[in-house]
Structure formats: structure tokens, C-alpha cells
Structure 1
Amino acid sequence: MAGGTKRLPRAVREQQMLDAAVEVFARNGFHDTSMDAIAAEAAISKPMLYLYYGSKDELFAACIQREGARFVESLAPAGDPKLTPREQVQKALISFLEFVDNNRQSWMVLYRTATNQAAFASQVQNSRNQLIELVAKLLESSTKNPEPGTNFGIMAVALIGAGEAVADRIAGGEILVDEAAELLENLAWRGLAGKKKD
């Protein structure tokens, strides 16, 4: 083989390309990222990159799909039936914020870069909708005697909106996970039927 380069399985090569793409998109944004820069980051030729992903749009969409799936998967521990509903909400918050803290480039691609690209808005919204549905269910199941007509879906939207803003501060190194989790937890419970945390 040319240059003695070891041939990697396609799935491994794809992940390497996506890893490189996430790094470059996070650093430069969508418009200022070139396929040349991603190929260089992945230490492959540009023709090979185009062989796997036919365009920058296709590659970016693959990044969103993978990182969005990883983000949703990170919340799976919150569904542990051994936890009380309130503990599940707490676990979801911590898992969400820890994902951002440990995967800052992923967060920047999903939250900062993708949300500014109309062509990819539906992909990002799909991940967000899954999160909203999960949080709404957890809030409803963890609230004793809710006020009649309480809209847990809207409450989940509000909490996630606040969570995204706080998570962006984590990605920027402005706030620690534990501090952010406590802030959001207090916000969640104080918003539920006027219940305040002691």
C-alpha cells in the first residue's frame, strides 16, 4: 500500500473523519471550515474525505447526527427505574451538564454552529424534542399534587432553554457543573406549582 499506510475498516475511518470534522467545525464554525482543513485534521486526502462524505453539508449533517445521538445517550442513566422521579430529574441535569463539560466541541457544534444553520435546524430540533419529552415526563412524575392544568411540556422547554444557556457557560469555562446543576435544579422545583426548595 502507498506509503505503508495501514488500511482501516470503513467504520473506523468514518469515526476518525467525524472526530476531525467536529474539532474543526467547533473551532472555525460552519462557513469558515473547509474540506481541506478537515482532511488535514484527519490526516487523510481530500479525495478520500469526499469519497466518504460527498459535501461539507453531508459531513456536517453526519456530525450533528452522531453528536446528537451521543448527547441523548448520555441521558440514559436518568431513566434508571431504581431512582425516584426527583432523583431522575437530578440525574438528567447532571448527565446533561457533564456531557457538555466533557464534550465541549460536540456542544459547540450542536448548540452554537448547527443552530445558526437553517439547513440543519430540523436535525438539532429532533434531539431537542427527545430531551423535552424526557424532561416533561420526569417533571410530571416527580411532582406531587400539581396545579390543575400544569403544562409540563412548556415547563420542560423553559428548563431546557435555561439549561442550554447555562451549559454554554460550562462550555466556555465560566461555571462549574455542580454549581450549574444546583442552579437549574432550584429553578425546576421553584417553577413547579410554586413549590420552593428549602
Structure 2
Amino acid sequence: MGAVKTKRMPRAVREQQMLDAAVQIFGQRGYMAASMDEIAEHAGVSKPLVYLYLNSKEDLFTACIRREAAALTAAVRAGVRPGLPADRQLWDGLRAFFAYTAEHPDGWSVLHLQARTHGEGFAAEVATMREEIVAFVTELIVVAAREAHRDPDLPRREVAGLAEALVGAAESLATWANASPGTTARQAAATLMNFAWAGLGDLMDGRPWTPPGGP
């Protein structure tokens, strides 16, 4: 009998294996400290193969950012079911966000900590993802608020600012939750809902907070 040949792994599968290893190494060690040798060893492949598939350390890191950003955005969108009350949609979106960042702490480290501090190109990749999430949250809030007000002219700029603040708070809270043993995704989402929904709920009921007079 002839020798049994090992089935060759498809390129797409092998590339995902390399990205899995790279996300873990980049997320835990940081972009500067991570080496292609370590990533290749962790992926169980040769370093020349990593370069063949992904060209350079910079391109590999960019591929990691894009994959993790797409997965996070998809998770948030999938978590929200249209047609539910506004508070339930926001709650579901927050739970999806915190569940993903808790289940993928290395990916979140790549997006929130590493990519933003190692060059404009990397930061721009994350900014694109963030803009999509802010736009999604903006639309979620503006539709609910307009329905509550029966006001089609609710200023989008005001709602966009609320969405920006909410996303920023969620990002900071996710990093804190991942560094705080015992904090669950549900607890993190509830914390932000308790912080944010009182104000959003009043806005949707036509009772916005008004600053005092004077400069």
C-alpha cells in the first residue's frame, strides 16, 4: 500500500488560522512586541508562508483589524430585532456588543487599544467601523424618538451626538469589563442602560433636559 497523503488545507482556512493566531498575539503582546516568528509558530506554519499569504506585518495587522471590525459590527446588527420597543432594541444591541467583546478580548484589544495607537492607517480602519456603529445607533435612536414625538424634524445632529457619546461609553466600559473578573456582558449592558436610558427615555417622552440660562 502506498503512503497516505494528508489532505491539503484550503488557502482560505489556512489564512483564517493565521489571523486567529495573529489576533491573539497582537491582542496580548501588542503590535510592536509581536513578532512574525511567534505568530507563525502559534499558527503552526512557517514564517515564509505567513509572508506569502499576508505580505507583511503591517498587512497582517490590517487584515486582523478588518476581520475583527466586520465581525463586531455584524454581531451588533444581528443582535437588534426591528419592530421591538426602542429600549429593547438598544438593550439587545448593547448585550450583543458586550457579549462579543467579552468573548473576543484579544480582538477587542486589537481594535480599541492597539490599532488606535500605532499609526494613522490602522486608526482609520477602526474609525470606519466606529462610524458604521455610530450611524446604526443614531438611526435606532432617531426613529424611536421621532415616533415618540410624532416629530419628523427632530435634529439629527442632536441625536448623532447622543449616539457618539453612547458608543464611546460602551467602548470604555467594554475595556473595563474585560479587565474586571466576574463582570458579565449582561451586567455591563445593564450598567450602560441604567446610565443612558433615563436621559434617552425622557427625550423620547418629550422631556429633554434644558441647561440653565447664562453663558
Q: TM-score, with normalisation over the residues of structure 1? A: 0.89
* Corresponding residue for residue 179 of structure 1: 187
Equivalent-residue separation in structure 2 for 1:35 and 1:177 (angstroms): 33
Given the alignment of the two structures, is residue 165 of structure 1 paired with residue 172 of structure 2, yes or no? yes
Moved more, 29-38 or 138-147: 138-147
- Please name the residue that 1:11 is paired with: 12
Looking at structure 2, the residues matched to 154 and 90 of structure 1 have their Cα atoms a distance apart, in angstroms, of: 19
1:69-122, Cα deviation, whole Å (9 max, x unpaired): 000010123442242232111111100000011111111111111111223111
Aligned residue in 2 for 1:190: 198
What is the CA distance between 1:189 and its match in structure 2? 1.9
Identity of aligned residues (%): 37
Which structure has the bigger radius of gyration?
2
Q: Is the contact between residue 23 and residue 64 of structure 2 (CA under 8 Å) also seen in structure 1?
A: yes
**Residue aligning to 1:34:** 35
8 Å CA contact retained: 2:142, 2:154:
no
- Where 2:180 maps in the other structure, the secondary structure is coil
TM-score (norm 2): 0.83
- Give the alignment of 1:43-82 within 5 angstroms: 43-82=44-83
Q: Render the CA deviation track for 1:47-69: whole Å, top value 9, x for unaligned.
A: 11100011100000000000000
CA separation in 2, counterparts of 1:178 and 1:95?
9
Which of 118, 140, 146 is equivalent to 1:138? Answer: 140
Partner of 2:86: 85
Distance 1:159 1:61 in 2: 26
Secondary structure in structure 1 of the residue aligned to 2:115: helix
Q: Which moved more, 1:178-187 or 1:95-104?
A: 178-187
CA 101–195 in structure 1, closer or farther in 2 if over 3 Å, else same? farther
Q: Which moved more, 1:182-191 or 1:68-77?
A: 182-191
In 1, Cα distance between the equivalents of 2:23 and 2:208?
41
For residues 112-148 of structure 1, the C-alpha deviation after alignment (integer angstroms, 9 at most, x for no partner) is 1111122311100011001000111111222322896
Tell me how far apart the structure 2 counterparts of residues 5 and 62 of structure 1 sit (CA, whole Å): 28
- Structure 2, unmatched stretches of 5+, are 210-215
Runs (4 or more) in structure 1 with deviation over 3 Å come to: 146-150
CA distance in 1, matches of 2:78, 2:70: 14
Amino acid at match of 2:188: A
Verify the 8 A CA contact 1:74 1:99 in the aligned structure 2: yes
Q: How much does 1:182 deviate?
A: 1.4
Q: Tell me what 1:122 maps to.
A: 124
Supply the RMSD in Å over aligned alpha carbons. 2.1
Indicate if the aligned counterparts of 1:17 and 1:42 stay in contact, CA closer than 8 A. Answer: yes
Q: Deviations over 1:165-188 (max 9, x none)?
A: 100012213432222111211222
The residue identity in structure 2 corresponding to 1:62 is: A
Q: Would you say how many aligned residue pairs link Structure 1 and Structure 2?
A: 193
Give unmatched runs, 5+ long, in structure 1: none
